[in-house]
Amino acid sequence: MNRNYTVAIVGATGAVGVEMIKVLERRQFPVGKLVLLASARSAGKTLPFNGTTVTVEELTEDSFKGVDIALFSAGAGISRKFAPFAVKAGAVVVDNSSEFRMNPDVPLVVPEINGDDVKLHKGILANPNCTTAITLMALYPLHKAFGVKRVIASSYQAVSGTGAQALAELKAQVEAIVTGRPVEKNVYPHQIAFNVLPHVDVFLDSGYTKEEMKMQNEARRIMHLPAFTASVTCVRVPVFRAHSISVNAEFERPVSVEEARKVLTGVPGLKLVDDPAKNEYPLPLNCAETDDCQVGRIRLDCALENGLAFWVAGDQLLKGAALNAVQIAEKLIC
């Protein structure tokens, strides 16, 4: 469709919101007008876009007049309250929070996997959890080839997943430690610098956290695979950007390393980095600020029948959030 669109970003001053602005510009999304929305305390700030600056406005119920697409990244509570107003005003919402992900009337989309589901929207589309999206970039091609049954996984999640305050806290803690000053902690319950926390999101009665259950629950919807199961441990690590996931996957059909590498070669949005002899494997440092996820350390799982073990990494703020949201918007206007 050859036209320009009025695009709103809710949560524009947050870590993901800032990335959304950059992605829209870098991918030359046909933005006729960009509306930046945030809380009252952020109103009046300016952010760069396409060689000019855009002033941030306070988010209100009346913010969406004339908006075609509204990208939300301000938390579930804000999405719950304001997404209906955006839809009522005629906008299509692409929501990055957890609010609508399990709503059967809201498509949950990774464009490379189930992009056609975008057509089923009723005004709102959901962006999946960052760890789920990055994992599925490697798991789904393997599923198409071998039929995945279940996975056991551990995530190594960067502080960017918590937001701008967590990024600042890690930096401040590192600086405090190397200069001999006391460490202050506000965002996490424990020091994150030079530490790992096996605690991401809220604990459930089962002992898992909400974050750990998202991979199973969301992957079922994205892959259209209701019997899929996943046992996941999510760990916060002192990395600024990019999540990594160690995956042990069991398939219905026999697998081999050679076949898996062939399947994973040339997948859009995924780069095969798998030469251990040369110390080449996915690193979060190499994935930071890049669109493609990376997969490597591919080997036969010695404890699972028809099993593969592999390691996948990707930028949480991009494929795990802002990039995926803009790709959904691109599907909307195709």
Do 5-128+321-333 and 132-316 show the same overall fold? no
Q: What is the pLDDT of residue 32?
A: 97
From the list 130, 234, 287, 293, the catalytic residue is 130
CATH number of the structural domain 5-128+321-333: 3.40.50.720
**What DSSP string runs through 10-75?**
ETTTSHHHHHHHHHHHHTT--EEEEEEEE-GGGTT-EEEETTEEEEEEE--TTTTTT-SEEEE-S-
pLDDT > 70: what percent of the chain?
A: 99
CATH 3.40.50.2300 given to domain 132-316: no
Q: Could you confirm whether 199 is annotated as catalytic? A: no
**What are the structural domain ranges in the chain?**
5-128+321-333, 132-316
Residue 180 has pLDDT above 70, yes or no: yes
Q: What is the pLDDT of residue 107?
A: 98
Confidence of residue 163 (pLDDT cuts 50, 70, 90): confident
Residue 229 CA to residue 313 CA, distance in Å, equals: 21
152 SS3 class: strand
Q: What is the pLDDT of residue 327?
A: 98
Check residue 250 and give left, alpha or beta (phi > 0: left; psi -120 to 50: alpha).
Answer: beta
H/E element, 297: strand 293-300
Render pLDDT for 4-35 as a digit per residue (tens, 0 to 9). 999 999 999 998 999 999 999 999 999 999 99
Residue 81 has pLDDT above 60, yes or no: yes
Q: What is the pLDDT of residue 164?
A: 80
Q: What is the pLDDT of residue 35?
A: 98
Q: Are 250 and 306 in contact (CB under 8 A)?
A: yes
Render pLDDT for 206-257 as a digit per residue (tens, 0 to 9). 999 999 999 999 999 999 999 999 999 999 999 999 999 999 999 999 999 9
Residue 54 CA to residue 67 CA, distance in Å, equals: 16
Q: Could you confirm whether 130 is annotated as catalytic? A: yes
Render pLDDT for 89-116 as a digit per residue (tens, 0 to 9). 999 999 999 999 999 999 999 999 999 9
From the list 143, 234, 243, 287, the catalytic residue is 243
Q: What is the pLDDT of residue 122?
A: 97
Render pLDDT for 266-298 as a digit per residue (tens, 0 to 9). 999 999 999 999 999 999 999 999 999 999 999
Confidence of residue 124 (pLDDT cuts 50, 70, 90): very high
